[in-house]
Amino acid sequence: METRLFPEEACPSKKGDNEMRELIENVSLLQKQLNELKLENQLLKNILDRSGISYARELKGLRNSEAEEEYDPNQGARIVHPEVITEKMANVFYSWFWGRQDVYAKRSVNKSGNAGYYPQCYNFWKDICPRRQGQKNGAVTVSTENISL
């Protein structure tokens, strides 16, 4: 009668051996890459030293500049909010964009719940709107008869 130290279900299978072998190979490959990078790093440091650039001094300077940088936790405190927005302020704002003051963005939500914006004109509900008079493009129609190219 044969005596076994471990029952068969406790012994690693060949599949487990292959997985372990792959892991060991991966670790070996990573260790090789790490050693190559360390060698390359040392070569580059030597080139810097020969060129008169101290790696240690540059690194120290970088670390000191990071420590000196201060973060202001109240970033919004420097923004000035006016109590009242005047018409002059609004006109200056609109002039930066060279847009029409009679056109604005209208928000729309479709049946699936997606929201989007489309241009809407303040004049649409007035009698001066060309779209209300049957024109399709909604803007002043430009005649091209007298234009020479």
Domain carrying residue 123: 100-138
Question: CA-CA distances (angstroms) from residue 143 to 132, 137, 140?
Answer: 20, 13, 10
What pLDDT, on a 0 to 100 scale, did the predictor assign at position 140?
A: 46
Q: Which of 8-22, 53-67, 98-112, 134-148 has the lowest mean pLDDT?
A: 134-148
Q: In this structure, is residue 10 part of a structural domain? A: no
Residue 34 counted as domain residue: yes
Does residue 38 lie within any of the structural domains? yes
| 95 compared with 90, residue with greater pLDDT | 90
Query: Do the domain assignments include residue 116?
Result: yes
Average pLDDT over every residue of 83-105: 78
- Non-local (6+) Cβ contacts of 21 within 8 A are none
Count: domains in the chain? 2
Percentage, residues of the chain above pLDDT 70 = 73
Residue 32 lies in a domain: yes
Q: Domain for residue 85, yes or no?
A: no
Q: Is 129 a member of any domain?
A: yes
pTM: predicted TM-score of the whole model, two decimal places: 0.33
